[in-house]
């Protein structure tokens, strides 16, 4: 890892819980992902992984090829715009876009949307017409079949995401005639966090086959094809980002067979990634608050829990978390790593191997925590302060920030007052 201020010094200066984001690691992830893809591909950064403006800006500005922004809310749109993104290059996705959000996005200049259903498409069209413009739409497809069995499955079952692939042929005339929209292409996202390269390749090959078939059924040439993502990185655990050395050639061969004009830009190609780009740039620092033994089991309780590192809190995606501890001891023990919240659900890991004899005041570090951190957590639960977030590059602290909880009051005048 690139040298940066000693983690314990940062913890002393800014307190804990503290996220430390290393922009050099972020640059390396972007470089590796673009390197694994044919040069004709665009990469959308999914802000849901981490909308911190410094990270979004670094992915847009960094040396080499820049990431575009993929958003799912007007809050993420605000972050993308603050980071310098041209709204005309932003992709707005998500199954529950409200009319108000769509109007705001179009007013801000967003012109590319992923439509999850016919009604979603109609709502996008209404917002575009209200601003006397036309919105380009990718039809998100929920494919009925899939090849790969690794990672988190995103298609092939009833879901709020995407238009069922088996219905496209019958819906094609209605999909292509919605006022205010132009069908620009397709958006397929079938799996997440696929560490097996051959499984990822098989899924992408299947996605490309599906896209070619749907293009024929729609009778509309594709201008943009987003084949999704699935690139893997450990989450809160020790380990390295997955490498994909065979992916570039495999994608090229699959696209040559189904879309002969793709190298000339027909269609343009894109993938999207959040976790892979941001995941290993982050380290979460926490201070041990308490250590207790209950009926033979040791509980180590740091000052961080699912309110800080929630992993989309309640979905069980964070177990087990691993920790690093600065210690000369070679002896270890297995403990339950429990957060400080008043709920038994606040458990970060069971049977976590740590140096023996942890005590209150000791500093622990949780690696690979750059994605799905504060904004995917129960930040407001129990009213605890949000963690501080420090951004570093090449040994220097770039910024330190904290999300603030603010309640806005409005007095309501009663009729008899």
Q: Could you report the per-residue pLDDT of 187-200, keeping only the tens digit for each?
A: 998 777 788 999 99
Per residue in 18-42, pLDDT tens? 999 999 999 999 999 999 999 999 9
Q: Which of 282-296, 334-348, 399-413 has the highest mean pLDDT?
A: 282-296
- Long-range contacts formed by 69-73: CB under 8 A, 24+ apart: 69/44, 69/45, 70/44, 70/45, 70/46, 70/272, 71/47, 72/47, 72/48, 73/101
CB 284 within 8 A of CB 309: yes
Predicted local confidence at residue 329, as pLDDT: 67
Predicted local confidence at residue 151, as pLDDT: 46
Predicted local confidence at residue 192, as pLDDT: 75
Predicted local confidence at residue 417, as pLDDT: 61
CA 161 → CA 170, 188, 313, 401, distances in Å?
A: 19, 10, 20, 34
Give the confidence band of 143 by pLDDT, cuts at 50, 70, 90. confident
Predicted local confidence at residue 4, as pLDDT: 44
* The residue count for the chain: 417
Give the confidence band of 395 by pLDDT, cuts at 50, 70, 90. confident
Selected residue with higher pLDDT from 100 and 311: 100
Q: What is the mean pLDDT of residues 161-168?
A: 82
The full DSSP string for 116-144 is: -SHHHHHHHHHHHHHTT--EEEEEEEE-S
Burial class (CB in 10 A: 0-12, 13-18, 19+), 239: middle
Task: Identify the sign of the CA torsion 294, 311, 289, 21.
Answer: positive
The structure's pTM equals 0.93
Percent of residues, the chain, with pLDDT higher than 90: 74
Name which of 69-73, 98-102, 346-350, 382-386 the model is least confident about.
Answer: 346-350
Q: What is the mean pLDDT of residues 372-389?
A: 93
Give the confidence band of 322 by pLDDT, cuts at 50, 70, 90. confident
All domains of the chain, ordered by start, with CATH? Answer: 36-273 (3.20.20.10), 280-402 (2.40.37.10)
Give the confidence band of 312 by pLDDT, cuts at 50, 70, 90. low
Predicted local confidence at residue 330, as pLDDT: 78
Alpha-carbon gap, residue 307 to 17, rounded angstroms: 10
Per residue in 271-307, pLDDT tens? 999 999 999 999 999 999 999 999 999 999 999 999 9
Predicted local confidence at residue 283, as pLDDT: 96
Tokens representing 385?
A: 């302060």
Per residue in 41-78, pLDDT tens? 999 999 999 999 999 999 999 776 899 999 999 999 99
pLDDT at position 133 over 50: yes
pLDDT at position 348 over 60: yes
Predicted local confidence at residue 5, as pLDDT: 53
């Amino acid at each position: 890892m690139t040298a940066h201020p000693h983690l314990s010094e940062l913890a002393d200066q800014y307190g804990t819980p503290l996220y430390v984001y290393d922009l050099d690691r972020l640059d390396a992830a972007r470089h590796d992902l673009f390197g694994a893809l044919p040069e004709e591909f665009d990469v959308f950064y999914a802000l849901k992984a981490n909308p911190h403006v410094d990270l979004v800006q670094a992915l847009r500005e960094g040396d080499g090829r820049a990431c575009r922004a993929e958003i799912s809310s007007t809050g993420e749109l605000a972050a993308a715009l603050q980071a310098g993104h041209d709204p005309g290059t932003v992709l707005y996705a998500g199954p529950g876009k409200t009319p108000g959000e769509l109007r705001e996005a179009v007013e801000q200049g967003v012109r590319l949307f992923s439509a999850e259903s016919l009604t979603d498409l109609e709502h996008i069209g209404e917002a575009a017409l209200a601003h006397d413009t036309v919105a380009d739409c990718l039809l998100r497809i929920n494919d009925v079949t899939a090849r790969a069995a690794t990672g988190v499955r995103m298609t092939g079952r009833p879901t709020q995401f995407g238009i069922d692939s088996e219905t496209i042929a019958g819906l094609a005339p209605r999909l292509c005639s919605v006022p205010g929209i132009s069908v620009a292409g397709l958006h397929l996202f079938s799996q997440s966090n696929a560490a097996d390269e051959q499984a990822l390749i098989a899924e992408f090959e299947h996605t490309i086959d599906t896209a070619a078939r749907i293009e024929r059924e729609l009778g509309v040439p594709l201008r943009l094809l987003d084949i999704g993502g699935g690139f893997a990185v450990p989450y809160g655990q020790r380990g390295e980002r997955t490498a994909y050395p065979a992916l570039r050639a495999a994608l090229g061969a699959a696209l040559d067979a189904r879309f002969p004009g793709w190298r000339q830009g027909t269609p343009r190609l894109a993938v999207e990634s959040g976790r892979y780009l941001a995941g290993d740039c982050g380290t979460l620092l926490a201070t041990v608050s308490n250590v207790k033994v209950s009926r033979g089991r040791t509980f180590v309780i740091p000052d961080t829990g699912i309110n800080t590192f929630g992993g989309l809190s309640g979905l069980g995606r964070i177990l087990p978390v691993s920790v690093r501890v600065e210690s000369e001891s070679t002896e270890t023990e297995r403990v339950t790593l429990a957060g400080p919240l008043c709920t038994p659900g606040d458990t970060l890991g069971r049977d976590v191997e740590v140096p023996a004899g942890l005590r209150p005041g000791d500093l622990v570090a949780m690696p690979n925590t750059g994605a799905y951190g504060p904004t995917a957590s129960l930040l407001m639960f129990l009213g605890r302060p949000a963690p501080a977030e420090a951004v570093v590059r090449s040994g220097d602290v770039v910024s330190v920030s904290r999300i603030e909880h603010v309640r806005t009051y409005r007095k309501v005048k009663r009729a008899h007052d």
